[in-house]
Amino acid sequence: MVVISYLREEAGHGYMAYKLLADLGVHLTAADFAGKKHFVYVFDELPESWTELALFNCLGDRAGRFQAEEWVDCSYAPQARVAPGVVKDEAGHGNLGLKNLTRICETPEGRAEVERLLPKWYAIALDMFGKSESKRDEKYRQLGLKRRSNEEARQVFIAELTPLLRGLGFQVPDPRAGRRF
């Protein structure tokens, strides 16, 4: 039931994004995405186990919360209106992931699986913030669509995540390892 609730919330986020784009005159269909890789490639990396889902939630959804926090009070009023709900949902998803990781780590096998998969999902989560030298990053801040640079947001994310991972008994992966950008 918890996973179904999570998926319902994520589907709602997709619908919100669809409506925001439609209001701007952009009309997307499933065919627009068929066979294409996502720019934010976390959506191409489907979790293959409960451990991967927990890592996706704890790291990826937590990074999603950071992205949605940028929209709160942004200059585009429709996006600013939906942002608090998305932030709340993503915070819950990140906390769900941490709770599930804690449970998984209760067994030696679970702890070993988390340790094996953590570097992959850590790199994916860090890449969700975009390139540090992004050409659009400064423009988005000038337009009031976001407050922090990609790298500033990534560093705040790392600062929040580090004590959580250490609290589970893990070393924080190298933030440069396994990154695509």
Say if residues 55 and 114 touch (Cβ distance below 8 Å): yes
Q: State pTM to two decimals.
A: 0.90
What per-residue confidence (pLDDT) applies to 35?
Answer: 76
Among candidates 90, 13, 9, which has minimal Cα distance to 56?
A: 90
Among candidates 135, 169, 164, 177, which has minimal Cα distance to 63?
A: 164
Does the pLDDT value for residue 39 go beyond 70?
Answer: no
150-171: average pLDDT: 97
Say if residues 58 and 127 touch (Cβ distance below 8 Å): no
Cα three-residue angle 23-27-28, rounded to 5 degrees? 130
Which DSSP string do the residues of 122-170 spell out, in sequence order? Answer: HHHHHHTT--TT-HHHHHHHHTTS-SS-HHHHHHHHHHHHHHHHHHTT-
50-56: average pLDDT: 97
119-143: average pLDDT: 94
In this predicted model, what pLDDT tens digit does every residue of 59-103 receive, in sequence order? 999 999 999 999 999 999 999 999 999 999 999 999 999 999 999
State the chain's mean pLDDT as an integer: 93
Does the pLDDT value for residue 123 go beyond 90?
Answer: yes
Among candidates 112, 126, 117, 108, which has minimal Cα distance to 49?
A: 117
38-48: average pLDDT: 79
28-37: average pLDDT: 78
